[in-house]
Amino acid sequence: MRVLRVALWSVLILLPFPAYSDFDVWSLNAYHLGYNKRSIDGYRQAKYAYLNANYLCGAQAPVITLVQEVMAQAEAAEICPPPAVYTVHPQSAQNPPWNLRGFNSYREGYALIIQNATATAGHQVVCYFNADQRFTLQPKDFIRPPDIALIRNVATNTKTWVVNFHALFGAIGNRRQEVVRLGNIVAQLKALVAADCSNIAVSRVLVLGDWNLPATDQAIADFFTAAGFTQPQIQPNGADQLTTVNRAGQLASSYDHFVWDAGEMDVTFDQIYTPPEGYLQYFKNTSDHLGVRANVTD
């Protein structure tokens, strides 16, 4: 039985890395990663240090971290400074390398950070692209189309699509339309056969990120239908499983989710990251979203 599970992490708890038959993954909206706050001395570097200690490339980092809200000012060398044994994607000759998207002057992108594999063990990125680089999209289908990676288990050759998505935060109708369109992308992705990715279709798809919708919204159900999921699952899905923090340091909304088809992978879910410094300090210094961690057995 293939299992996906999420566990609570704290900077005070050191848990072992998973066996190389698994890949564990964080999903995190990092709130304008790369920006500096003039009102807080050393904000940028302190934030990178905190993220590395808990999410990205430090001792407690997973095999993979998927980040939303990566800004033009973010640099791969700051996200994972040497001697980290991780690689940051996308890798591109353009500067900045991120697939920055947006309808106006405000633009943001995504990043994937992966622990380097060996010749016989670990996981590797087979291909990495933005949805608008592979699929036909209309100009306003998405304010920021998802980044997509095909992850390969070196030992077993099992492949999994990982889709990193940040829905727009605007008119609720437009937000819901984006989520349904994402389902259409997933359906196409499961049928994709490309020489530079996989010469066979890969039906294992893990969609994660900041959906800006609760799990109970009708648009999520419409996404499942569009994606062709036979046994759709979403976590966290409880009204009390909140993943955003407001300016008062209070938990606010349940917007960050993992979504998958239980017909392709069996899943268990545990908890959400809890900052030991408290939610108010976390909001001020790190993000308005809590990371969610999962483990995929492949």
- Ramachandran angles phi, psi of 124, nearest 5°: -135, 155
Q: How many domains are there within the chain?
A: 1
**Domain range for residue 147?**
4-297
Give residue 40's pLDDT.
Answer: 86
Identify the segments of the chain with pLDDT beneath 70: 1-21, 267, 270
Q: The CATH number of the domain where 280 resides is what?
A: 3.60.10.10
User: Cα(123)–Cα(76) distance, rounded to whole angstroms?
Assistant: 20
Place of tokens 């940040």: 166
